[in-house]
Structure 1
Amino acid sequence: MRISSTYQWAGISPSHQEAYSKPLYRLQPQGGHTSEVREATTLLSVKRSPYQKSIKTKRQRTITQMREKGKNPEKQLSDEEILSMQEKDFRLLMLKMMQDIGNKLEAKMDNLQETLSKEIQDIKLKQEEIPNTLTEIKNSLEATNSRIQEVEEQISEVEDRLVEITEAKQKREKRLKTNEESLRELWDNVKRSNVHIIGVAEGEKREKKTEKIFQEIIAENFPHMGKEPLTQTQEAQRVPYKINPRRNTPRHILIKLTKIKDKEKILKAAREKKQVTYKGTPIRLSADFSAETLQATREWHDILKVMKGKNLQPRLLYPARLSFRFEGEIKTFTDKQKLREFSNTKPALQQILKELL
């Protein structure tokens, strides 16, 4: 677009050239002359003054300045210089200014068009990249979903494996517990006819045999049994075999009877007598059990002591069950947890056992 070309004389029609050649001060606006136009008309219609030569010199200087302004457009003419110009010079100035404005507009339009073209080109490039980006995102999402599915499958397999391991562990623990109970019962059966004598001094062994000591204990405490051929001893010895110098208490005497019935009669008689002695020294007779059974029975000792004080008639049943009378009924428990659950429903029993459970 070339705006400046439309204002050159070569492109203007004769009618327009005639209009441009008329003096500007003769143009009258609708509605009559304004005061400013009348004043300008009066001034321009006056005959040339004696100072015509000086005015002409001013005009020539103005034209020269205008030409310099064309070379240096940043300098502007003053209002007095513009008023002192002739019509032709003024029109030329206006055409020059309009041409400069057109050139500037054209340059700005060109710059704007170039900028818009670049932006449009960038937008087109970005639009072309969008499908590729969307495809990459889609592929990435598909790969992520695939990995998530693989991880979920692996987690599921691990969970299944953990369930299998847990079940196998529970079965193994159950089997181990069953084996331990079977071993304990077997060992208890082996020791079922044994009697432990606790509290006999070590010096007695040097003077008498262990079996002789047992016979004296029976004769001293249960004289009616000594006359009966019941208490036949199969084996008698101190346990352990070696003396521990760090142990202050005497070793136990282990008596193995031929009949289980004889052991039960002796222990029953000892419970009824409540105090068994050997040469006036208190001793204790007890059944012989495996270490596991003894440990299980020891856990009930404190509870047994408290219940005896409250006259609940507690007893220990084989292998390690607690039995006692409460509210006219006999209750039996295999472990403390079950006893605790039962005591929570019985405030009176809970008060008795509150420091033991």
Structure 2
Amino acid sequence: MDQLSAEFAKQRTSLKEDVSALIRDAIRPIQDSLDLLQTTVSSFQKRLTSVESIAGDDFERLTVAEASIKMLQTQNQSLADRCDDLENRSRRANRRILNIPEGSEDGKDPIKFISDVLMEMMGSEVFPAPPERERAHRTPTSRTSRRSSPRAVLVCFSRFQQKEAALRWARNHQLQYQGATIRIYQDVSVLLAKKRAAFNSVKQALYQKNVRFHLLYPARLQVMHGDDRLTFDSPDEAQQFIDRTFGKD
């Protein structure tokens, strides 16, 4: 019996070793795969950490760049506004005269021609003596067959009082020259002209409702409503006033 028990113990030990060997052989590929997976995950974690670091640096740079762009945009707009203001200040002595028949000044001195035209339209009531001008010319300076209306005449006055007198008279009187209705406006930059033109529809609505108004320099609309003088900086504000006061059409 002792010998049989010893033999069974020996067989059991051998069987256990065989089973253990089989298990180790079976799980070795799985363990290798797990080790490879762990290595891959570790590599991805390192790369992700690196990408997060780079992204964080890029975000900081982007934030700084956006702040710089906003500052430059503000500075650029400020410089553009100042340049436009300087341009309009340089034009303050000018008046733009529209609808003088094309070619009526041919062969004549432009300055003397405009002086004679102003005297003919306004007379001594505005100009006791011919107004003093520095220069006068058509704009654009060359004719084109594609243009149907006469080119504007740009006049630079030497005296502020004469320049203002011509504009005030033109606002309150109908000017005629060789059968054409003449209009006189202040000379302004292209940018300011667009800002002032934005009020055209509002001005037309006020005119139809017999409401007095003035377009103030540089681009503000003053409306006389009862005893009040209301000033609007944008066409939208003026339109809202019209809608509130007179109702929407």
TM-score, normalised by the number of residues in structure 1: 0.57
Kept after mapping to 2: 8 A contact 1:323/1:333:
no
- Give the equivalent residue in structure 2 for 1:238: 138
The counterpart of 2:189, out of the listed 267, 285, 290, is 290
Q: Secondary structure of the equivalent of 1:197?
A: strand
Call closer, same or farther: CA 1:261–1:118 in 2, change over 3 Å: farther
Call closer, same or farther: CA 1:153–1:277 in 2, change over 3 Å: same
Confirm whether residue 216 of structure 1 aligns to residue 112 of structure 2: no
The counterpart of 2:80, out of the listed 157, 162, 180, is 180
Shift of 1:174: 1.9
Higher RCO, 1 or 2 (CA under 8 Å, sep at least 6)?
2
- Give the equivalent residue in structure 2 for 1:330: 230
Confirm whether residue 348 of structure 1 aligns to residue 249 of structure 2: no
- Give the equivalent residue in structure 2 for 1:227: 128
**Structure 1 unaligned runs (5+)?**
1-113
> How far apart, in 2, do the equivalents of 1:227 and 1:295 lie?
36
Call closer, same or farther: CA 1:158–1:315 in 2, change over 3 Å: farther
- Give the equivalent residue in structure 2 for 1:276: 175
- Give the equivalent residue in structure 1 for 2:105: 205
Confirm whether residue 320 of structure 1 aligns to residue 216 of structure 2: no
Matches within 5 A, 1:53-132: 121-128=21-28, 132=32
Post-superposition Cα deviations, 1:310-353, rounded to whole Å, max 9, x if no partner, equal 344343222223333568461322464xx39x93x99626954x
Shift of 1:132: 4.8
- Give the equivalent residue in structure 2 for 1:146: 46
Post-superposition Cα deviations, 1:121-155, rounded to whole Å, max 9, x if no partner, equal 44223445555544433333222222112212222
Call closer, same or farther: CA 1:204–1:346 in 2, change over 3 Å: closer
Call closer, same or farther: CA 1:347–1:215 in 2, change over 3 Å: closer
Task: State the structure with more CA Rg.
Answer: 1
Shift of 1:182: 1.5
Confirm whether residue 305 of structure 1 aligns to residue 204 of structure 2: yes
Confirm whether residue 158 of structure 1 aligns to residue 158 of structure 2: no
Post-superposition Cα deviations, 1:69-95, rounded to whole Å, max 9, x if no partner, equal xxxxxxxxxxxxxxxxxxxxxxxxxxx
Call closer, same or farther: CA 1:301–1:335 in 2, change over 3 Å: closer
> How far apart, in 2, do the equivalents of 1:193 and 1:261 lie?
10
Q: Secondary structure of the equivalent of 1:205?
A: coil
> How far apart, in 1, do the equivalents of 2:184 and 2:52 lie?
66
**Structure 2 unaligned runs (5+)?**
1-14
Percent of residue pairs identical: 20
| Greater strand proportion | 2
> How far apart, in 2, do the equivalents of 1:267 and 1:325 lie?
20
Shift of 1:161: 2.3
